[in-house]
Chains A and B, each alone.
Chain A
Amino acid sequence: MFVSDFRKEFYEVVQSQRVLLFVASDVDALCACKILQALFQCDHVQYTLVPVSGWQELETAFLEHKEQFHYFILINCGANVDLLDILQPDEDAIFFVCDTHRPVNVVNVYNDAQIKLLIKQDDDLEVPAYDDIFRDEEEDEEHSGSESDNGSEPSEKRTRLEEEIVARTMKRRQRREWEAQRRDILFDYEQYEYHGTSSAMVMFDLAWMMSKDLNDMLWWAIVGLTDQWVQDKITQMKYVTDVGVLQRHVSRHNHRNEDEENALSVDCTRISFEYDLRLALYQHWSLHDSLCNTCYTAARFKLWSVHGQKRLQEFLADVGLPLKQVKQKFQSMDISLKENLREMIEESANKFGMKDMRVQTFSIHFGFKHRFLASDVVFATMSLMESPKKDSSGTDNFIQALDSLSRSNLDKLYHGLELAKKQLQATQQTIASCLCTNLVISQGPFLYCSLMEGTPDIALFSKPASLTLLSRYLLKSFVFSTKNRRCKLLPLVMAAPLSVEQGTVTVVGIPPETDSSDRKNFFGRAFEKAAESTNSRTLHNHFDLSVIELKAEDRSKFLDALVSLLS
């Protein structure tokens, strides 16, 4: 059931208990976790934090810990499947689920006792009504009971029998209609996957309701929201609305910086609203590198072709930036050039057909040296979490990424920025090679691209978030590179090798790229059905149902099934 008063029904319930936190492995979940940890530390709530990266890990960890705790909090996992079925908990276990995955499973919505959803109901949820999907079984039994004790007289018996037969068939027909309708409703409801409000923002709201919100928590909420925008999980409208909400909080916490007399010292954290360029990591890199490695500019300039490189030079000449300056580190650029940089770039970008060069975002400063945009932190944390180091397990990376979000661990954040730069460069190079060698082929109802084992930097793309980001960027670049109008509207299925020893590949499905897309992804259900119909050996382990692992031998029959399913 949905929790209406977060404070009374959630926080005050867990305040006196020991809780177990299951946190999924994405940046938004990390930020929500940091906010909740700060709140718990303030109130001395004893908790245990267990990172999970998939359903199997969640189940194992739950089995290990279930005797010791009664209250479980799941962050960014668990809303879109039947939790009670998967975890099989005891009667007195209570789950609080704060998840952005939609649609929320109907069992989770209508279970009043054990599952409490920390989800705002003004998100567009469209949960089907209770009576449409659940039906009391008693009515049928009553009727069958009355059928057995028939009347005594034969003639009356016969007419009554006929009536009863008629009534029974009517009932059965009604039941069948109801069931067909139920299947349709559930199919429509569960067909598309999408994402709701960021969990970090939900947690920040809770902190604000209790008046325990701090600037640090606000920054984490901002990073959580920006993560959703970077990974294209929410629509542009929703992003702008949420930015507006956060902007009010930012001005509430940071108004002292405006006032010249009472300004805070330089070392204090300041968050400010910026209408800044959407070039990735440009303040920690050179402007030229940033332009080449941001998907937005690389796709529109078509930087994989020679013609595209020339256009980039023209663009830089138009802005009025000398090449030597642009290739230097951004911090060493001439101050005279940096002053009006944003406006100049925006003007030239408009001339070259890039209308949304600037986006609304936030930045944080502390000290003279440290200044980060929200997207910088998102890329850094994402790279830390998915870095393919050989020795470290998934949980080590999680801990590294979690630490990097604290202000006292700036060295980890800078390390993450370096990793992010490598990741972005590898992404663009892979995209360039895919487009130049025409690896993206149309299979009919969708486009398909498969990365081969020997591709350079293939290890960087074995984790789901990196592969999803690569696929989205590839689709965007493909849309700009192809002349076929029909291909521009097709979704993309991308496969990358996961583990050579086990012979598995990761398959990701991306919805088609349109200007006003609502980011709804139907590949989750499509993959499930295709796998069932061909008995392929798949593992639907990730919380995002549109990412699966597949045995390499079953790839072709799986794809055939998918083609026939979607056409």
Chain B
Amino acid sequence: MKALYEQNQSDVNEVKSGGQSDLIPTIKFRHCSLLRNRRCAVAYLYDRLLRIRALRWEYGSVLPNALRFHMSAEEMEWFNRYKKSLATYMRSLGGDEGLDITQDMKPPKSLYIEVRCLKDYGEFEVDDGTSVLLKKNSQHFLPRWKCEQLVRQGILEHVLS
């Protein structure tokens, strides 16, 4: 883009100084391509922002390191600000404690769900402080809100029977 812009700039200067009008179409053409390139770049950056926003809903407020590695500093800042505004909104919702709307994305059918472990995960803490060891192919019957994150990440699989 920079190359195109410089060429355009030199041509514009030539026209201004020389008064030739036959370079004007070239200048217009280069200007259009510059505008198009800018549109593409902005669309790409905007799409990245939308995906980062979706990450907040998928992974929660802490992103895994692998993902953070691929984001630029500005994107991280945008993410943090989005997190903050989402948190403020959630706090303003239901009474004193606020309502966590990132849970229960689909209307839940029951309090507890049966899940099957697809990969070895290790220990997973349950509400009363004790933990459950998630090994491959073990099945568990746990409260829905605890498992939702892991189900979304693909470590647990919801078993419908």
Q: Which residues on A are within 8 Å of B, measured CB to CB?
A: 18, 37, 40-41, 44-51, 64-65, 68-69, 393, 395-396, 398-399, 403, 406, 408
Residues of A within 8 A of B132 (CB): 48, 68
Residues B112 and A44 in contact, CB atoms below 8 Å apart: yes
Report the Cα distance A445→B114, complex, angstroms: 52
Question: Smallest CB-CB separation from B134: which chain A residue?
Answer: A48
Contact (Cβ within 8 A) A395 B136: yes
Interface flag for B103 (CB, 8 Å): no
Is B126 a contact partner of A44 (Cβ separation < 8 A)?
no
| From A41, A69, A396, A406, contact of B137 by CB (8 A) | A396
Q: Is the CB of A46 within 8 A of B139?
A: no
Interface: B76 (CB within 8 A):
no
Q: How far is the CA of A18 from the CA of B139 in the complex (A)?
A: 13
Assess whether A398 is in contact with B137, with CB atoms less than 8 Å apart: yes
The 4 closest A-B pairs by CB, nearest first: A395-B137, A49-B139, A406-B161, A48-B140
Once the chains are docked, how many angstroms separate the CA of A396 from the CA of B157? 14
Bound state CA distance, A316 and B140, in angstroms? 52
Residues on B with beta carbons closer than 8 Å to the beta carbon of A47 = 140-141
Residues of A within 8 A of B20 (CB): none
When A18-B130, A408-B160 are in contact, do A48 and B139 touch as well, CB less than 8 Å?
yes
Report 8 cross-chain contacts, Cβ distance below 8 Å, ordered by A residue.
Answer: A41-B112, A44-B111, A46-B141, A47-B140, A48-B138, A393-B137, A395-B138, A408-B161
Whether A49 contacts B140 in the complex (CB less than 8 A), given A18-B130, A399-B116, A406-B161, comes out as yes
Q: Which residues of B contact A393 (CB under 8 A)?
A: 137
Residue of B nearest to A397 (CB): B137
Residues of A within 8 A of B137 (CB): 51, 393, 395-396, 398-399
Main secondary structure of the interface of A (DSSP, over half): mixed
Q: Which residues of B contact A65 (CB under 8 A)?
A: 133
Q: CA–CA, A65 to B134, complex, Å? A: 10
Is the Cβ of B126 less than 8 Å from the Cβ of A46? Answer: yes
**Bound CA span A40–B126, Å:** 18
Assembled-state Cα–Cα distance A45/B116 (Å): 16
Bound complex: CA A47 to CA B139 (Å)? 8
Complex alpha-carbon distance, A396 and B143, angstroms: 24
Separation of A68 and B142 alpha carbons in the complex (Å): 14
CB-CB nearest in chain B for A49? B139
Complex Cα distance A64/B117, Å?
16
Report how far A270 CA is from B131 CA in the complex, Å.
Answer: 42
| CB neighbours of A408 from chain B (8 A) | 160-161
Inter-chain CA distance A476–B161, complex, in Å, is 39
Q: How far is the CB of B118 from chain A (nearest CB, A)?
A: 10
Residues of B in contact with A, size category:
20 to 34
Bound together, the chains give a CA A399 to CA B136 distance in angstroms of 11
Q: Which of A18, A395, A398 contacts B126 (CB 8 A)?
A: A18
Whether B140 contacts A64 by the Cβ 8 Å rule is no
List which B79-119 residues lie within 8 A (CB) of chain A: 111-112, 114, 116
Per the bound structure, the CA–CA distance linking A398 and B139 in Å amounts to: 11
- Whether the Cβ atoms of A68 and B114 lie closer than 8 Å is no
| A395 nearest in chain B by CB position | B137
Complex CA–CA separation, A46 to B141 (angstroms)? 5
Complex contacts, A395 vs chain B, CB 8 Å: 136-138
Cα separation A377 to B116 with both chains bound (whole Å):
23
B48 within 8 A of A: no
Chain A hits for B53, CB < 8 A: none
The distance in angstroms between the C-alpha atoms of A408 and B143, with both chains bound, is 23
If A46-B126, A399-B116 are given as contacts, then 6 extra A-B residue pairs at C-beta distance below 8 Å, sorted by A number, are A37-B141, A47-B140, A48-B140, A51-B137, A68-B130, A69-B130
Chain B residues within 8 Å of A403, by CB: 159, 161
Task: Report whether B138 and A45 are in contact in the complex, using a CB–CB cutoff of 8 Å.
Answer: no
- Expressed in whole angstroms, the minimum distance between the Cβ of A203 and any Cβ of chain B is 16
What is the minimal beta-carbon distance from A113 to any residue of chain B, in angstroms? 22
Q: Flag if A64 contacts B112 (CB, 8 Å).
A: no
When the two chains form their complex, are residues A41 and B131 in contact, meaning their CB atoms are under 8 A apart? no
Within 8 A of A (CB), among B45-95: none
Residues of A within 8 A of B114 (CB): 37, 41
Bound together, the chains give a CA A258 to CA B137 distance in angstroms of: 42
Question: Residue among A47, A48, A395 with the most chain B CB within 10 A?
Answer: A48
Whether, in the assembled complex, B135 has its beta carbon less than 8 Å from a beta carbon of chain A, the answer is yes
Q: Which of B136, B141, B159, B160 contacts A40 (CB 8 A)?
A: B141
Question: Is B138 a contact of A50 with CB atoms below 8 Å?
Answer: yes
Query: What residues on A are CB-neighbors of B130 within 8 Å?
Result: 18, 68-69
Bound-state Cα–Cα, A37 to B160, Å: 13
Note all chain A residues with C-beta closer than 8 A to B112: 41, 44, 46
Cα distance A37–B114 in the bound complex, in angstroms: 9
| Residue from A41, A64, A398, A406 within 8 A of B135 (CB atoms) | A64
Between B130, B159, B161, the greatest number of chain A beta carbons within 10 A of the residue's beta carbon is seen for B161
Chain A min CB distance to B24 (Å): 68
Please indicate the chain A residues that have their CB under 8 angstroms from the CB of B111 in the complex: 44
Of the residues A45, A64, A396, contact of B141 by C-beta under 8 Å: A45
Residues of B within 8 A of A51 (CB): 137-138
Nearest residue, chain A, Cβ from B160:
A408
A145 CA to B23 CA in the complex, in Å? Answer: 123
Residues of B near A396 (CB, < 8 A) are 137
Across-interface contacts of B133 in A (CB, < 8 A): 48, 64-65, 68
With both beta carbons as reference points, the residue of chain A lying nearest to B161 in the complex is identified as A406
Tell me which residues across on chain B come within 8 A of A40, comparing CB atoms: 141
Given contacts A18-B130, A65-B133, A68-B132, contact A41 B160 (CB under 8 A): no
Residues of B within 8 A of A48 (CB): 132-133, 138-141
Query: In the complex the two chains form, what is the Cα distance from A49 to B141 in whole Å?
Result: 9
B142 in complex: contacting residue of A46, A69, A398, A399, CB < 8 Å = A46
Interchain CA distance A69-B161 in the complex, whole Å: 25
Q: Which residues in A have their C-beta under 8 angstroms from that of B139? A: 48-49, 399
Please determine whether A49 and B138 come into contact, CB atoms closer than 8 angstroms. Answer: yes
Nearest CB on B from A401, distance (A): 12
- Nearest chain A CB to B143 CB, angstrom units: 8
Of residues 120 to 161 in B, which have CB atoms within 8 Å of A's CB atoms? 126, 130-133, 135-143, 159-161
Give the distance to chain B from A411, nearest Cβ to Cβ, in Å: 14
Chain B residues near A50 (CB-CB < 8 A)? 135, 138
Nearest Cβ distance between residue A478 and chain B, in whole angstroms?
39
Most buried by A among B111, B141, B159: B141
Write the chain B residue with the least CB distance to A23: B139
- Nearest B residue to A394 via CB reads B137
* Whole-angstrom distance between the Cβ of B142 and the nearest chain A Cβ: 6
A44, closest chain B residue (CB):
B112
Q: Distance (Å) between the CB of A263 and the closest chain B CB? A: 27
